[in-house]
C-alpha cells in the first residue's frame, strides 16, 4: 500500500485473515490454561498498540475475565525504542491475588515489558503471564518469558492492527512493515 510522499510505504507482512486465525488459537490456549483454575483472571492491555489485539482476544476467551489497561511510553513517535520507560496511565483495578495476563502488541527489546512486570509483581498477583501478538527475539535485551506468542518476526518496524508509527497506521487490518 502506497501513501502520499510524506508518509511511509507499508508492505503486508501478515494478512488480516492470518492475524484473526492466530488470535483464535491464542484465545483457545489461554482459555484452556485458566479454565480449571476457577480463579480471577484479568487481562492487562498495554496501550495504545494492543487495543485492537486485546479487544479481539477478549471476545474469543470464553471464560470470565476482567480487562484493564496501562499506557506505557518508550518510543516517543520514533522508530527506535528508548530504555527510559514511563508509565503514563496506571491500572484502575487491583491485581492482588489475581491471575494476570499482560497483553502486548510487540515485544522487541523487552525493556518496556520488564518495567511493567516489575510494577505488577510488586502488587502481589497470584500469577503473571505474557501474551504478545508479535515477538522480535533478535532485539531482546531484557530477560522475560512469554507464554503466548502470535508470531515471531524479524527486526522490521511494524504497523497495523493497532500498532503505529507516530500515531499513524493503527487502522490497517493487517500487520505491515514500513521502511
Most confident residue range from 43-57, 61-75, 81-95 = 43-57
When pLDDT is averaged across residues 123-147 and rounded to a whole number, the result is 94
Residue 5 domain flag: no
Other C-beta atoms closer than 10 Å to the C-beta of 14 total 20
- Which one, of 66, 72, 65, lies nearest residue 46 by Cα? 72
Alpha-carbon gap, residue 74 to 23, rounded angstroms? 25
| 3 assigned to some structural domain | no
Whether the pLDDT of residue 1 is over 60: the answer is no
Looking up residue 102, the CATH number of its domain turns out to be 3.40.50.2020
Would residue 124 count as lying in a domain?
yes
What is residue 75's predicted lDDT score, i.e. its pLDDT? 55
Does some domain include residue 4?
A: no
Element spanning 9, H or E: none
146: confidence class by pLDDT, cuts 50, 70, 90: very high
95 Rama sector, left if φ>0, alpha if ψ -120 to 50, beta otherwise: alpha
Query: Which residue would you say has higher pLDDT here, 135 or 79?
Result: 135
- The residue from 56, 105, 108, 164 that is catalytic is 108
Mean pLDDT of the chain: 89
Judge whether 2 lies within some domain.
no
Contact 144, 114 (CB under 8 A): yes
Domain of 113? Answer: 10-178
Domain count, the chain: 1
pLDDT, position 4: 42
Active site residue 108: yes
pTM summary value: 0.88
Summarised one tens digit per residue, pLDDT across range 72-105 is 876 555 455 556 778 889 999 999 999 999 999 9
* Per-residue pLDDT at 36: 86
Amino acid at each position: 500500500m502506497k501513501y502520499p510522499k510524506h508518509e511511509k510505504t507499508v508492505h503486508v507482512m501478515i494478512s488480516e485473515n492470518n492475524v484473526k486465525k492466530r488470535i483464535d488459537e491464542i484465545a483457545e490456549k489461554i482459555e484452556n490454561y485458566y479454565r480449571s483454575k476457577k480463579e480471577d483472571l484479568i487481562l492487562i492491555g498495554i496501550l495504545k498498540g494492543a487495543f485492537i489485539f486485546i479487544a479481539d482476544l477478549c471476545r474469543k476467551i470464553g471464560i470470565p475475565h476482567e480487562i484493564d489497561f496501562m499506557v506505557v511510553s518508550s518510543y516517543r513517535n520514533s522508530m527506535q525504542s528508548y530504555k527510559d520507560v514511563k508509565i503514563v496511565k496506571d491500572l484502575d483495578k487491583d491485581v492482588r491475588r489475581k491471575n494476570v495476563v499482560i497483553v502486548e502488541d510487540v515485544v522487541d527489546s523487552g525493556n518496556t515489558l520488564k518495567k511493567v512486570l516489575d510494577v505488577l509483581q510488586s502488587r502481589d498477583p497470584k500469577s503473571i503471564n505474557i501474551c504478545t501478538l508479535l515477538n522480535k527475539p533478535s532485539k531482546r535485551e531484557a530477560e522475560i518469558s512469554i507464554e503466548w506468542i502470535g508470531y515471531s518476526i524479524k527486526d522490521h518496524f511494524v504497523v497495523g492492527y493497532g500498532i503505529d508509527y507516530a500515531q499513524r497506521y493503527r487502522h490497517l487490518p493487517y500487520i505491515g512493515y514500513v521502511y
